Amino acid sequence: MSQLSSTLFAAQMSPTNIFAPSSTPADSIFRLSLFVLAVTGAIFVVVFSMLLYAAVKFRKREGDQAEPLQIYGSANLELAWTVLPILIVMVLFLSSARVIHAIQDARKPDGANEVTVVGHQFWWEYRYSQYGFVTANELHVPVSDQIHPTPTFLTLLSADTDHDFWVPRLAGKTDLIPNHPNRTWIDPYQTGLYLGQCAQYCGTEHAKMLLRVYVDSRADFDHWVKAQQQAAQLNAGMSPGATQGRRVFERTACINCHAVAGTIAAGRFGPDLTHLMSRDTLAAGAAPNTPENLRAWIQNPDTIKPGALMPAMNLNDKEFDQITAYLLTLH
């Protein structure tokens, strides 16, 4: 209980506090780091005190001109401060090796959830191959209870440069490197939103390649999966503006990069927009997903995320309104 409350406090300081773990990998790292901090803290106190003592105690006094006793060394002392650190190093090494093994070599249990994460400049693609859909920028995973764990195993790929998947409260970092598939896993204890961001410099907009992981209850997660599996609901009560917007969308370069399931839009360079309105944010977490932001983004992405690879499309105001109206129907 006390650990829970201290975790809550740590999470209040920052939603990305590494000392507020809420998943087994982050938690075992947290426990190891407490041990490492204790050992290094003890060394710090001892050596710092000795340095301070020597620096104060052995200062030259006023008027004292004599040279001190010339001492060249002491084999015993030197042996002591060689052997003792070796022992400490062995302890730290073994405790680290244990955690490395526990996290990296963890067996994937049956019933584990699997997602392929593809890093792009400067957004995240999530492929739920198990369920047959693709989404972007907001990762949903089921909460995992201790008795029937349903961890999520992530395969990490990159479409362009190096990226790094880091959600501090869930797990340590793992790089996404082209031609070098990596794996990591999380088993969040509690539902909620967990934040993070790309932690490997990947180009101009590295700073706004944010991570959002939604940990849902099992029922919510299943519901979300079901909704994501649907193709876009296109003609149900679409306004004339939106219908016109769809036409503009499908006749311009939009569809070179973006996909909307159930339409001719099948591009894969940019985020999948099939269920765009089910997401809370735009542009990998750079702005809240409001109609105004959406329109501003389509008109000129640089106003929200300068250096993003999506170009400004040079359409007229009416067309921007229409495309926005169309995208607003993609629930």
Partner 1 sequence: MSSNSVPIPDAIDSTKPTSGEAWLLEALHEWVITVDHKKLGIMYIVAGLFFLLLGGLEAVIIRIQLLVPHAQFVSPEVFNRMFTMHGTTMIFFVIMLILFGFGVYLVPLMIGARDMAFPRLNAWGFWMSTFGGLLLYFSFVGGDGLYGAGTAPDVGWWAYAPLTSRAFSPGHSTDYWTVALLVSGFGSVAIGANLVATILSMRCPRMTLARMPLLCWLYLVMGALLLFTITPLTAAQLMLMVDRYLGGHFFDTQAGGSAVLWMHFFWIFGHPEVYVLVLPAFGFVSEIVPVFSRKPIFGYPIMVAATVGIGFISLSVWAHHIFTMGMASYSNAFFVLTTMAIAVPTGIKIFNWLGTMWGGKIRYELPMLFCVAFLFQFLVAGLTGIMLGSAPFNWQLNNSYFVVAHFHYVIVGGILFAILGAFYYWYPKMTGRLLNQTLGLWNFWLLLIGFHLTFDFMHFAGILGMVRRIYTYEHGRGWEFWNVVIGVGTLFQVLGLSCFVFNLVWSYFQGRPADRDPWDGWTLEWATASPPPEYNFSVLPEVKSARPLWDLKHPEDPDWKYQ
Residue (198 or 265) nearer to partner 1, CB:
198
How are beta strands 133-136 and 123-128 bridged, if at all?
A: antiparallel
Q: How far apart are CA 323 and CA 265, in angstroms?
A: 14
**DSSP conformational letter for 109:** P
Cβ 210 to partner 1, closest distance in Å? Answer: 7
One residue of 7, 23, 24, 28 binding partner 1 per CB under 8 A: 28
Asked if 44 interacts with partner 1 (CB under 8 A), we say yes
CB of 182 vs partner 1, minimal distance in Å: 4
Question: What are the two backbone dihedrals, phi and then psi, of residue 184, each rounded to the nearest 5 degrees?
Answer: -150, 170
C-alpha–C-alpha distance, residues 52 and 57, integer Å? 8
Long-range contacts of range 231-237, CB-CB < 8 Å, 24 or more positions apart? 231/261, 231/262, 231/274, 232/260, 232/261, 232/262, 232/263, 232/274, 232/275, 232/329, 232/330, 233/329, 233/331, 234/262, 234/263, 234/329
Question: Does 51 participate in binding partner 1 (rule CB under 8 A)?
Answer: yes
Among 178, 288, 291, 311, which residue interacts with partner 1 (rule: CB under 8 A)? 178
Contact status: 9 vs partner 1 (CB under 8 A): no
Residue with tokens 């990947």: 202
Among 54, 231, 266, 312, binds partner 1 (CB under 8 A): 54
Which residue in the set 4, 8, 38, 50 belongs to the binding site for partner 1 (CB under 8 A)? 50
Applying CB under 8 A, the span of 86-94, 108-116, 219-227, 314-322 interacting with partner 1 comes to 86-94
- Please identify, among the stretches 94-102, 220-228, 291-299, 313-321, the one whose residues bind partner 1 according to the rule CB under 8 A: 94-102
| 210-269 binders of partner 1 (CB under 8 A) | 210
Task: Confirm or reject binding of residue 310 to partner 1 (CB under 8 A).
Answer: no
- Pair 115, 141: CB distance under 8 Å: yes
197 binds partner 1 (CB under 8 A): yes
How far, in Å, CA of 195 to CA of 210, rounded? 8
Q: Choose, by CB under 8 A, the member of 22, 135, 150, 200 that binds partner 1.
A: 200
| Of 108, 183, 226, 318, the one binding partner 1 by CB under 8 A | 183
